[in-house]
Amino acid sequence: MRVLILGGDGYLGWPTAMYLSSQGNEVCVVDNYFRRFACVEKDVPSLFDTPNLFERARHWQEVSGKEIMVRIGSVADYPFLLDVFHEFKPDAVVHYAEQPSAPYSMLGHSEARFTLENNLLSTLNVAYAVKETDPSIHIVKLGTMGEYGTPNIDIEEGFIDIEHKGRKDRLLFPRQAGSLYHTTKIQDTDLLYFYVRVWGLRVTDLMQGPVYGIFTEEMGGDEDLFTVFNYDEIFGTVLNRFIVQAVAGVPLTVYGKGGQTRGYLNIKDTLQCVGLAIAHPARKGEMKIYNQFTETFSVNDLANAVQRAGKDVGIDVEIKSVPNPRVELEDHYYNPVHTGLLDLGLEPTLLTNNIVAKMLESVIRRKDEIRRDIIQPKTQWN
């Protein structure tokens, strides 16, 4: 297949590009380097330096013999995006190209405005580019489990059957975001669902939980193929942050009571899930929604897992509750359904002691490069 990956320079985008390329697909990646610029602007570097997309694609071709086409530009720039669609003629488009950080979206008005404009405009442009060039192109969109929030009922996979005053309907599951970033993801879902109903587009919306992990098979230990790895309070996700904190000798920053529970997955499973979504496309006028995670953990569970694995690699890990900068429930019911991707064949990579220990060992080799000053949470929700 011909797969266009929007946001192909990112934490998930680049590993996805290599994964789909290694499976024999023709791959084109698009990125405007927003994430790289934002990390420079906010002074929150990745633990690993990553070559730019052209260098990465050249190196990938040397080691795999397979070509990945690169186009640099913004998905929010419609004429540019349309040119890419006309040139590459994708069968499927994977849309990762968004501002993905909840804290970034809460920094202030300019970051909030950027998040809103960038995320909604990029999604609108993808819908239009598909309609203009070939409405049969399957859109695989990355949403987030954070769209649902933490309701006091079980979370279904995208839709819920409701009986109200004697009548029945199947509607989008109620959404309740915990940050402006998550609000834009809800609006993306609404936008795409609207065009699915009106134009008959084919969309799969993946409600993904926080991702952890450093390595995928395609990297094979080759540092020039590594993906960006942030551990700061803006772009780092919780388990990746805990791993670096443990190695740096900083007490793990549990926000408040630490009972916040979410569905997590290994970066290797993100690739599997996206691959499965592409292989089982939505029909014309259908919006498929999958809850994309493999296991649920509370923040305390994750901190304890890192502390346990720390013992195996000779690190004494301290855990400390810090005042919660976010507005969120710290103790709540959480039971989301996640059978859709398992039914398609997802083989989960579970968070074993061994996996945590391996992550710790990889970071230990970079211990001297860790910036301790970017670890503590600073961005307040109110």
Ligand X SMILES: NC(=O)c1ccc[n+]([C@@H]2O[C@H](COP(=O)([O-])OP(=O)(O)OC[C@H]3O[C@@H](n4cnc5c(N)ncnc54)[C@H](O)[C@@H]3O)[C@@H](O)[C@H]2O)c1
Closest to ligand X by CB, 56 or 202:
56
- Nearest approach, Cβ of residue 289 and ligand X (Å): 14
211-212 and 261-266 as β-strands: parallel, antiparallel, unpaired?
parallel
- Note whether 32 binds ligand X by CB under 6 A: yes
The residues, ordered by sequence, that sit 6+ positions from 329 with a Cβ below 8 Å of its Cβ are: 150, 260
Among 19, 26, 34, 238, binds ligand X (CB under 6 A): 34
Is 35 a binding residue for ligand X by CB under 6 A? The answer is: yes
Per CB under 6 A, the segment of 11-19, 86-94, 309-317, 332-340 that binds ligand X is: 11-19
Give the list of residues 6+ apart from residue 160 with CB closer than 8 angstroms, or none: 170, 171, 172, 173, 174
For tokens 């839709």, the residue is: 159
Q: Where are the alpha helices (DSSP H) in 211-286?
A: 238-248, 267-279
Residue 184: active-site member: no
Distance of CA 12 to the CA centre of its chain: 6
Catalytic residue among 11, 19, 96, 181: 181
**Residue by residue, what is the 3-state secondary structure of 180-214?**
HHHHHHHHHHHHHHHHHHHHCCEEEEEEECCEECC
What is the C-alpha separation between 11 and 339, in angstroms, rounded? 25
Q: Which of 42, 123, 148, 185 is catalytic?
A: 185
Query: Is 208 a residue that touches ligand X (CB under 6 A)?
Result: yes
Q: Does 210 bind ligand X (CB under 6 A)?
A: yes
Q: x/- string (CB under 6 A) for ligand X, residues 233-262? A: ----x-------------------------
Q: Is 185 annotated as catalytic?
A: yes
CA dihedral 93, 35, 206, 6 (to 10 degrees): 0
Stretch binding ligand X (CB under 6 A), from 106-114, 208-216, 245-253, 271-279: 208-216
Which C-beta is closer to ligand X: that of 195 or that of 293?
Answer: 293
Q: Which of 46, 50, 144, 324 binds ligand X (CB under 6 A)?
A: 144
Residue 94 bridge partners (DSSP)? 5, 140
74 vs 183 by CB, closer to ligand X: 74
**Where along the sequence are the contacts to ligand X (CB under 6 A)?**
7, 9-13, 30-35, 74-76, 96-98, 100, 118, 122, 142, 144, 208, 210-211, 228, 237
